[in-house]
Amino acid sequence: MSTFKHVCPEKTDGRETESQRADTPEMTDDRIRAEKLKEIDLFVLDLDGTFYLGDRLIDGALDFVNYIWESGKKILFFTNNSSRSPKVYMERLAGMGCPISRDQIMTSGDVTIAYLKETYPGKTVYLVGTPALEESFRQEGISLWDPENAGQADRTAAARPDLVVVGFDTTLTYEKLERACTYIREGAVFLATHLDINCPTEYGFMPDCGAICAAVTLSTGAEPKYLGKPFKETVDMVLLKTGVSRERVAFVGDRLYTDVAVGVSHGAKGFLVLSGETKLEDIKNSQVKPHEVYGSLGEMKRLLCGEIPESHA
């Protein structure tokens, strides 16, 4: 039974809506899609292609977020992009009229840090990442391997770091790539913050973490353990941080193989929005099938309010 509270300004009489629902012998497709939304207590939203496109807010996205907050439910923004710090996203969203707190934004870098602290406490990490990601690791007490100081102080016994972690490193150099490959060949564990191969830009694409990892794999023969979406560690961290039960969490995004797959593969919901890179016809060629498809966050809000949604067929 849904505990959803109607807070649409144009729908002041909630009982009338319930009455209309009871008089309808068969639920329409749109009503079923609305009911699916009402079963959710936490919406985990992707950013680019879902909440904004580049520097532009997607129509209705802010309305959706405000509506969910007003209804007493939760929003968590999650991005696989590990090149920027959560603080940068907080500032960006605030500039778009959506101020959030630190606990309302999570990145694949956060999941990687949590995984390192739990699985490899006290181990040294050679990080192929941006200065922002390095700072996040340091703040959380991860011991970063500094090749310039290797062999000195307390590292005299070690010839290499325990782990190599590759992120979306927009400051990548050949030297970093070479060191990462050397350490992995010498036995360092190989982790990656996320598997995305390309990051969309206003001009096309730029090589993302998965593409950097492909170069390392080609050189070393070693495959990384990936974190971020669509992997279990991400869902576990979201559940731990929010306290919401798995079946009442929906991951919402514009990519089937990350945003949607993370929900459908781990007992939560996976909702696709068509405001970004995926088109409706892409679903039939994908192994990942979303629980529901919505045109945009704006359409989700209109469905929740009982308004006639826009067609995306």
DSSP readout, the chain? --------TT---HHHHHHHHHH-SS--HHHHHHHHHHT-SEEEE-SBTTTEETTEEPTTHHHHHHHHHHTT-EEEEEE---SS-HHHHHHHHHHTT----GGGEEEHHHHHHHHHHHHSTT-EEEEES-HHHHHHHHHTT-EE--GGGTTSGGGTT-SS-SEEEE---TT--HHHHHHHHHHHHTT-EEEES---SEEEETTEEEE-HHHHHHHHHHHH-PPPEE-STTSHHHHHHHHHHH---GGGEEEEES-IIIIIHHHHTTTSEEEEETTSS--GGGGGG-S---SEEES-HHHHHHHHTTPPPPP--
Shortest Cβ 200–Mg ion spacing (Å): 8
Tell me: does residue 110 bind Mg ion (CB under 5 A): no
Shortest Cβ 255–Mg ion spacing (Å): 5
Shortest Cβ 162–Mg ion spacing (Å): 33
Shortest Cβ 197–Mg ion spacing (Å): 13
**Closer CB to Mg ion, residue 161 or residue 290?**
290
- List the one residue from 49, 109, 263, 290 that touches Mg ion (CB under 5 A): 49
**Closer CB to Mg ion, residue 53 or residue 150?**
53
What is the pattern of x (binds Mg ion, CB under 5 A) and - over residues 225-264?
A: -----------------------------x----------
Tell me: does residue 48 bind Mg ion (CB under 5 A): yes
The footprint of Mg ion on this chain (CB under 5 A) covers a number of residues equal to 4
Stretch touching Mg ion by CB under 5 A, among 19-27, 43-51, 91-99, 223-231: 43-51
- List the one residue from 46, 110, 162, 196 that touches Mg ion (CB under 5 A): 46
In the complex, the residues that contact Mg ion under the rule CB under 5 A are: 46, 48-49, 254
